[in-house]
Structure 1
Amino acid sequence: MKRIIKSILPSLREKKRYLAYEVISDKSINERIAKNAINSYILKFLGELNYAKAGVMFLNFRNNKGVIKTAHNYVNEVKTAIALIDNIENNPVNVKSLYVSGSLSKVFSKTEVN
């Protein structure tokens, strides 16, 4: 006898938001280095418990622009954490948030990250 796994009701699902950001720097930043630096700043700002609750996930990074997926109630904290970044690998940078949406396709169309 096969068991059918019921899907989670939409009202109980974790709501997500996609945050597009841009790393502004004089030099081109390597994708791996940028993601690690941004990840460590977010972890440092939120702490381990809130970082886990926020469910931060990096999706795309191209031409110093990227997308972060996070829980809907931690968007402001993640935006604050990436705004506090002032250097990556001893290179002065400015990371600014470009657009927030619940739809990944809308983020790609508005910010040209894709």
Structure 2
Amino acid sequence: MTERKETGVFYFMKTKIKPIMPSLKEKKRYVSYRIISDKQMNENIVNNGVKSYVMKFLGELSYARAGIIFLGQNENSGIIRTSHNYVDEVKSALALIESIDNNPVNVFSTNVSGALNKAKSKMEVN
């Protein structure tokens, strides 16, 4: 008897999905930032404030294309992961933040890195 080829859904269930080549993966950059303020603010309030200002500056579509993810924050500094194409826009948005939760603040980016460990080490030094 001849073997019958599986087609349709069963064929795709048996086949393995090829991994994405490294040259096609999204290139990430890690922007570390520092906040200068008179008051000590809660981490959630700072994250929400920075998110809203970056969203307002970039718009929803560019925010989604930039792939912005807030990774970590300690007292007055944090790290944002973004696409390599939107680093300058994210840095500009951070520089334009004037107040968070009605507290005047000054936000500036301290470092841009391609490796998370390097961004964390630079954040701890500053």
Q: Into which bin does the TM-score normalised by the smaller protein fall? A: over 0.9
Give the TM-score taking structure 1 as reference length.
Answer: 0.94
Is structure 2 residue 121 aligned with structure 1 residue 109?
yes
Hey, what does 2:99 align to over in structure 1? 87
Cα offsets for 1:3-40 (capped at 9, x unmatched):
32211111111100000001110111111010111001
Equivalences for 1:43-62 in 2 at 5 Å?
43-62=55-74
Identical counterparts, % of pairs: 60
Contiguous gaps of at least 5 residues in structure 2: 1-12
Residues 19-38 of structure 1: pairs in structure 2 closer than 5 A:
19-38=31-50
Looking at CA atoms only, which structure, 1 or 2, has the larger radius of gyration?
A: 2
Unaligned runs of 5+ in 1: none
- Give the secondary structure class of the aligned counterpart of 1:112: helix
- Higher helix share goes to which structure? 2
Q: Aligned pair count?
A: 113
Is 1:7 matched with 2:47? no
Q: What is the one-letter code of the residue matched to 1:77? A: E
**Offset of residue 108 of structure 1:** 1.2
Report the alpha carbon displacement of residue 70 of structure 1 after superposing the two structures with TM: 0.3
Match of 1:67, SS?
strand
